[in-house]
Structure 1
Amino acid sequence: MDILQYESKIWATADLLRGCGIKESEWPSFMMPFFALTMIESRLIRMLEEEIREIGEESLADINKEDLYEMIKDKGQGYNKYIFEQNKTLADICKNDKSFGIDFDTYLNGFDGETKDLLGVEASEGEKFLDIKGVITKLNAKKVLLGYTKLWAEIDLKPYNNSEITTLEEHIKRKWADISAETAGEQYTPDDVIALISEIIASKIEESDKLLKIYDCTCGGGNLLFGVEDRINQKFKRLTQTFGQDWNDALYALAKIESRFRPDSRIEHGNTLVDDKFYNEEFDVVIANPPYGVSWKGYQKDIENDKTGRFKYLPSISDGQLLFMQHLISKLDSVGMGVVVHNGSTLFSGDAGSSESNIRKWMIDSDIVEAIIQLPTDEFFNTGIYTYLWVLNRNKQSKHIGKVMLINASEKFKPLKKSKGSKRKEVDEANRIEIVETLTKYEDTDYAKVFYKEFFYFNKQAIMLTNVDENGNSFEEKLPMVANKRTGLEERVSSLSLTPIEISNGEQTIKEFNVTTFDTRKYDSLSAAYEQDIKQVVASLDYKEQPLVITTADAKYWFDSDKESLIKKVNEKTEMLGCGKIIVKAGFKKASKTQPERIEITVELTPDYQKDYEIIPFHEDATENRANIEAFMGKYITKPFVYLENVVGVEINFNKVFYKTEKLREVVEILGEIEAIEVELKALEEGLGL
């Protein structure tokens, strides 16, 4: 019988939880430990039966039971005294409601130490993993423990092998992910995406006597890691070994339990980014679907002080995806490859010079990125966003070296007949085959493009512009030249200081510029007068937005917005000084030996400089790149400027590469529609007698 018949039976156990007021979002925490119990028991019993078959009925009589039990323990897949030595199961315990409590406790404590730890049988403080002790306490309080356990005891998985049980487990865990994703960035990887990742990996590996080591640094419950291993094992005879690590207690426990029933698997608990349990290992294949947009602030110091050298740059603290990417690259062996699932932020977040851009540049400079595949929206169970597969490869074919392929597979899907949460689409087998063939051929198609890696680079050229007036003049030209004491060379001063006798903006006038007294009725001190009044008044003065006039003993100064120039007026004669700024400042000065406590107001005239950035295409040849920058500036920048720093950034923009212009409709067609609407309106008016 198909094991998936039990999917609905398992979910029926949640009806009892609903009936006693437990919220839907909490169901997985109640179901996980009992599902684990059912899986473990079925597998232990199968293991015993297989051991007996191997020994044979005739030889079994000659073997001491204690020896048989030791043989089972040696397999390292778990042990339970109650099951093996008393020949009783969870279903047997549930038959006697009077002794159920004692028997269930004995049953749970009959497990080996590791299984008890994973289930949380003796959990108190600290790691609880599946926390069955806590769940039992809550169910007891609601007086439904026996009834709930009976429902699970009716689920008999003994007839099914490990692979079949794993299939059921993945379906159940997927539904848990639908209803309990506490963090928006935590994504359960759907089967069709796992299949696509597996087929990409399969297209890159060959049959070999060498063990294939597969690693997932955020393995969760193991669905991606074990799903890829199972599919690789279906295609190749090559032996596989899986390694995984996760920080979530319950998901780690499920993956750990599953790993014990696989030929060669190692699952560890902990935060990969600060406590890599496989620090001395390298792998043939790395895979991961790390959390999206999740902060790493809680362990910022550990990462900043990391001594492994795996983090070349530290991305924004609000999103750790590129930390996981750098970690995974560090785990690849010299010919390893990988497929990593990310959202779009890893493609374009961060400006040139930012850590995110530098990480992308480092990856592409290292020639480790072979391709990036855009998946359809509505592919995951709790988000509808676009997601991307980064295909990493340290062993590129010669024709792929120095290149990156973009595959726009956003339309390569089949709609689901019934949506599963936010998942409404799947990359079906036919589309998966097409995507992998496109990647293998590594040639341009209507939905895939191959680029030399420099295509994704760009110059962010900083310049300092000198703004000029309507005649092309800057106030800079009016500044006097003075000798630099250090070099002896003539240089222009940076500004011209004025000694005002009045500052006016039409609404308020300031005539005192060295204030040493204050109104005792309004302020407690001169510093209070500065903070509460004068500081704000001076800060509000704006030479461009207000008719700000500076009067000195011999002239008046203001800015003419129409002419974009500073104006100087002496008597009735005005002079355009060129484009510049009027800067009014106020400062509080403490008393010194020669001067009292005071507020000083100063005025300066300065040139109007403006820092700007230009985004310019990149060329790999340094001379050609500089020539391109200068040609761009000559064509588009008309004001005087000086070059500042140039930073090379990296961005991967699918919209830019695969943008399709919408075909405009013919004017005749639009006019025809308008005419038809007018005829319809006229008929309606006649019908209403208008």
Structure 2
Amino acid sequence: MDHSVHHKIVSFIWSIADDCLRDVYVRGKYRDVILPMFVLRRLDCLLEETKEQVKEEVAFQMEEFGMPDQDPDALKEASGYVFYNTADICLKDLAGNPSQLVNNFKHYLDSFSDNVKEIIQKFDLYNQINKLATADKLHDVIEKFVSPDINLSSKPGKDPEGRTLPALTNLGMGYVFEELIRKFNEENNEEAGEHFTPREVIKLMTNFLFLEVKEQLPPVITIYDPACGSGGMLTESQNFITDPEGQITSKSAVHLYGKESSGETYAICKSDMMIKGNNPENIRFGSTIASNEFEGTRFDFMLSNPPYGKSWSTEQKFVVEGKEILQSRFEVNLPDFKGVHSFQKAYPSSSDGQLLFLMEMVDKMKSAKDNGMGSRIASVHNGSSLFTGQAGSGESNIRRYIVENDFLEAIIQLPNNLFYNTGITTYIWILNNNKSTHRKGKVQLLNAQDMYRKLRKNLGEKNCELTDDHVEELTKLYHQMADSEQSEIAKVFDNSDFGYHKVTVERPLRKSAQFTEERVSKLRFVAALQEQMEWIYQQYGEAVYEKETLKDHRKAIIQHFEDQGDNLTKKNRDKLLAQKTWDDQKNLMDHAQQIMANVGQKQTNDFNQFKGDFSKALKTLGLKLSPSDKNQILNAVSWRDENAKPVVKKVHSLSQVTDALSGSLEHLEDDNESLQDYGFWHLEGSKFTEYEADSELRDTENIPLNEDIHQYFIDEVRPHVDDAWIAIDKTLIGCEISFNKYFYQHKPLRSLEEVTKDILNLESETEGLLKKLVSFGEAK
């Protein structure tokens, strides 16, 4: 394939931007004109040879229906493409009639089929026409694009000197188009990462996706990208499969599918599909997260570089409403630590939606029964997809679902500064739902962070690249499933190595208690509004209990707190100024004073006994308090005390204990000692006491799945806190993948002698510099 022809076309078109747009557009905006005009010229060239057939069909439809495009299918058949233009003129005619240029150009655009008109709209071309016309540049641009010096036709042509200009095939057109997009993205690199993945990264992804199954490719191949951008990954995949000089050279029919939410980028992608003869209707516009555009469709291969670190909060209402998950692709069926399955959320926090695109692709996987090989996925992510989110979170559930279903085949860590607008570390995930036997239950990690070649000139943030040798080496390591404990590049793990139990460790709540006048007086105020209520009481005293006081002073009170920067919520403000709030709290304080008179003011470190005395006093006094009022009084007169006795929650029989734990630990019935590890202390006979947990002392431990929870607790926790226990019912299963953990290479510290020598050398150098400075000053 002669790429020199393509480079000449790219250079010529690039020169149009410099020659015609320099004084009208800033350099980063040249693409707004050049890309849509390039697309139009190619479509115009393709339609030239069937122009007469289309005219005849238009005349027939005018006579038959009174409309020029009443039967779009017939017009497509006449044009020989999935698009058409019903105008009598073409772009060359526009260049020959500058007096009516704007009107004629707009008429020409209006005469395209709807699929091309949509592209024109997304490109915002009508506004560009007006801008160019105002600057007297529109005719220049059109004249350049129809110049006989370049040939964008699918037929050979002649330049003004009579030299042959080769035909530009669809594949060649694709190379030219992608090269133009690349150059414009590099010029405008602050946006490049949103829709442009470096070519060598796509090459690595296609190697991993297709070479492993090149002998199993079905006769019809479908490829999908849910964040397709300008379509680079899709077309590169198609080229990789069909290129006669490539490693596969398959004769399979390839159908490309994609979705994109950026209007201009969508227009570029859809144009690309038209130009290369693919079906543009398979490219959809809109948010992949908000709507399941290809619901029910399954694909053979999927690859994507979704946006990462980007909020999806505006789309969240389409995914979840309250606790209800609205789209099944974002929920997964997972077992808990007892093996009980339930549906759980599979969506990340609203600040970063990249894993949603991965779940979209997982949802679209074919089974091996459908095509003989299942589906394969390659997706680029940043590091947060590997480890963010605690056990039970959406992020962890997604990783866990993928790993436990044995979909994850490999993850490749790429060098930093490989992409155009970010220097962060990125990773390629490879998924396969029909792993070969030697890969089943395994995940390969490849660390390519140090495999790069420096660029002579930075392209935005991109300062390095993967060479063909790097791509070949990584592909070889992947296909061989290379693994070495000592390797700094390739390691293989069992699926279970990435899972862990998140175990909650509790300690008993210990409280002392004592009624005092000071503590009881605090009940005059709601705890959450204590500071504000205290200020109001200081200002107005007992008058706050008079009916009109709060109403009369409402504005002044509100103004005071606003001046203090105390922005109360409406709910709290209304509660603060409600007469009922003050009356209820005063009644509660009065009741507490009665109870104090009955119980006394002696301090105790046995809160259990104190609660008993409290209950007896209520009965004696005939007071009926709500549970919340009781708790408010008890909380006001008690405090945490590490030397106090544990607070008892409930006393159980042995049978109640084992029933409550549902047999999750088979040894419990004949090992009463271990019951203490799960929150129950042996008292006497067959009775066990459950203590209240202190939330302030609560802690969690992440225990690898292949380790015994109970033994880990005995070995690692109990020696340090002998009153702790495991809250077994709160145990969760999580999943995370840490490259730093698996590829960390310890570097020993330098010896004291080496450090001392360096310090002395620096001092010596500094002393020499000082002498030179002093001598220079004396000489002057």
- TM exceeds 0.5? yes
233, 245, 249: which one aligns with 1:236: 249
500, 513, 524: which one aligns with 1:458: 500
1:379 aligns with 2:418: yes
* Structure 1 residues 241 and 501: alpha-carbon distance in aligned structure 2, compared to 1, 3 A threshold: closer
SS where residue 446 of structure 2 aligns? strand
Q: Give the distance between the partners of 2:386 and 2:44, measured in 1 at CA.
A: 46
Matches within 5 A, 1:304-453: 304=320, 308-312=327-331, 313-334=346-367, 335-444=374-483, 445-453=487-495
Offset of residue 178 of structure 1? 3.7
1:460–1:613 contact (8 Å) kept in structure 2: no
Q: Deviations over 1:508-544 (max 9, x none)?
A: 9x9x999633599x987698999979xx9xxxxxxxx
58, 75, 82: which one aligns with 2:80: 75
1:185–1:292 contact (8 Å) kept in structure 2: no
What is residue 152 of structure 2 aligned with on the other side?
157
Q: Give the distance between the partners of 1:415 and 1:181, measured in 2 at CA.
A: 18
180, 198, 212: which one aligns with 1:204: 212
Q: Give the distance between the partners of 1:130 and 1:529, measured in 2 at CA.
A: 57
SS where residue 504 of structure 2 aligns? strand
Q: Which has the higher helix share?
A: 2
140, 146, 155: which one aligns with 2:139: 146
SS where residue 403 of structure 2 aligns? helix
One-letter amino acid of the counterpart of residue 306, structure 2: P
Matches within 5 A, 1:101-180: 101-119=102-120, 128-154=121-147, 155-158=150-153, 159-180=167-188
Offset of residue 216 of structure 1? 1.1
What is residue 665 of structure 2 aligned with on the other side?
none
Offset of residue 311 of structure 1? 0.9
Q: Which has the higher strand share?
A: 1
SS where residue 392 of structure 2 aligns? coil
1:29 aligns with 2:23: no
Matches within 5 A, 1:279-678: 279-304=295-320, 308-312=327-331, 313-334=346-367, 335-444=374-483, 445-466=487-508, 474-475=510-511, 497-500=515-518, 516-517=542-543, 577=605, 603-607=636-640, 609=694, 610-620=696-706, 624-638=708-722, 640=724, 643=727, 645-678=730-763
1:195 aligns with 2:214: no
* Structure 1 residues 526 and 45: alpha-carbon distance in aligned structure 2, compared to 1, 3 A threshold: closer
1:516–1:526 contact (8 Å) kept in structure 2: no
Q: Give the distance between the partners of 1:515 and 1:651, measured in 2 at CA.
A: 58
One-letter amino acid of the counterpart of residue 262, structure 2: N
2:222–2:257 contact (8 Å) kept in structure 1: yes
Offset of residue 336 of structure 1? 0.9
Q: Deviations over 1:235-277 (max 9, x none)?
A: 2324122222222222222222322344554322332223333
Offset of residue 396 of structure 1? 0.7
* Structure 1 residues 620 and 46: alpha-carbon distance in aligned structure 2, compared to 1, 3 A threshold: farther
What is residue 57 of structure 1 aligned with on the other side?
none
1:221 aligns with 2:198: no
Q: Give the distance between the partners of 1:183 and 1:523, measured in 2 at CA.
A: 57
2:348–2:394 contact (8 Å) kept in structure 1: yes
SS where residue 377 of structure 2 aligns? strand
One-letter amino acid of the counterpart of residue 309, structure 1: S
Deviating more after overlay: 645-654 vs 659-668: 659-668
* Structure 1 residues 576 and 671: alpha-carbon distance in aligned structure 2, compared to 1, 3 A threshold: farther
Offset of residue 48 of structure 1? 8.5
Offset of residue 372 of structure 1? 0.8
* Structure 1 residues 419 and 77: alpha-carbon distance in aligned structure 2, compared to 1, 3 A threshold: farther
One-letter amino acid of the counterpart of residue 236, structure 1: T
* Structure 1 residues 432 and 525: alpha-carbon distance in aligned structure 2, compared to 1, 3 A threshold: same
Offset of residue 232 of structure 1? 1.6
Offset of residue 455 of structure 1? 1.5
2:391–2:397 contact (8 Å) kept in structure 1: yes
Q: Give the distance between the partners of 1:106 and 1:436, measured in 2 at CA.
A: 52
Offset of residue 639 of structure 1? 5.4
One-letter amino acid of the counterpart of residue 238, structure 2: E
* Structure 1 residues 76 and 95: alpha-carbon distance in aligned structure 2, compared to 1, 3 A threshold: closer
Q: Deviations over 1:218-249 (max 9, x none)?
A: 21221111111101213232412222222222
2:306–2:357 contact (8 Å) kept in structure 1: yes
Offset of residue 136 of structure 1? 0.9
One-letter amino acid of the counterpart of residue 732, structure 2: V
1:249–1:269 contact (8 Å) kept in structure 2: yes
Offset of residue 501 of structure 1? 8.0
2:76–2:82 contact (8 Å) kept in structure 1: no
Q: Give the distance between the partners of 1:685 and 1:338, measured in 2 at CA.
A: 64
* Structure 1 residues 151 and 320: alpha-carbon distance in aligned structure 2, compared to 1, 3 A threshold: same
Q: Deviations over 1:391-445 (max 9, x none)?
A: 0000111222222111111112222223222222111111111111111122323
Instruction: State the TM-score, normalized to the length of structure 1.
Output: 0.74
1:43–1:162 contact (8 Å) kept in structure 2: no
* Structure 1 residues 391 and 502: alpha-carbon distance in aligned structure 2, compared to 1, 3 A threshold: closer
Q: Give the distance between the partners of 1:366 and 1:13, measured in 2 at CA.
A: 53
1:178–1:382 contact (8 Å) kept in structure 2: no
Q: Deviations over 1:185-239 (max 9, x none)?
A: 7241111111111111122223345312111112122111111110121323241
* Structure 1 residues 403 and 437: alpha-carbon distance in aligned structure 2, compared to 1, 3 A threshold: same
11, 16, 21: which one aligns with 1:13: 16
Unaligned runs of at least 5 residues, structure 2: 53-73, 154-166, 332-345, 368-373, 523-530, 567-591, 594-599, 609-623, 625-631, 642-693
Aligned residues: 578
Q: Give the distance between the partners of 1:24 and 1:685, measured in 2 at CA.
A: 51
1:378–1:386 contact (8 Å) kept in structure 2: yes
SS where residue 329 of structure 2 aligns? coil
What is residue 689 of structure 2 aligned with on the other side?
none
2:318–2:326 contact (8 Å) kept in structure 1: no
267, 274, 277: which one aligns with 2:290: 274
Q: Give the distance between the partners of 2:218 and 2:601, measured in 1 at CA.
A: 91
Q: Give the distance between the partners of 1:604 and 1:501, measured in 2 at CA.
A: 6
Offset of residue 579 of structure 1? 12
Unaligned runs of at least 5 residues, structure 1: 50-68, 120-127, 468-473, 479-494, 537-551, 554-567, 581-593, 595-599
Q: Give the distance between the partners of 1:46 and 1:162, measured in 2 at CA.
A: 16
One-letter amino acid of the counterpart of residue 227, structure 1: E
Deviating more after overlay: 630-639 vs 647-656: 630-639
Q: Give the distance between the partners of 1:139 and 1:375, measured in 2 at CA.
A: 43
* Structure 1 residues 676 and 185: alpha-carbon distance in aligned structure 2, compared to 1, 3 A threshold: closer
* Structure 1 residues 503 and 98: alpha-carbon distance in aligned structure 2, compared to 1, 3 A threshold: closer
SS where residue 215 of structure 1 aligns? strand
SS where residue 283 of structure 2 aligns? strand
What is residue 583 of structure 1 aligned with on the other side?
none
One-letter amino acid of the counterpart of residue 20, structure 1: D
Q: Give the distance between the partners of 1:215 and 1:19, measured in 2 at CA.
A: 38
Instruction: State the TM-score, normalized to the length of structure 2.
Output: 0.66
Deviating more after overlay: 354-363 vs 436-445: 436-445
Deviating more after overlay: 146-155 vs 440-449: 146-155
* Structure 1 residues 108 and 616: alpha-carbon distance in aligned structure 2, compared to 1, 3 A threshold: closer
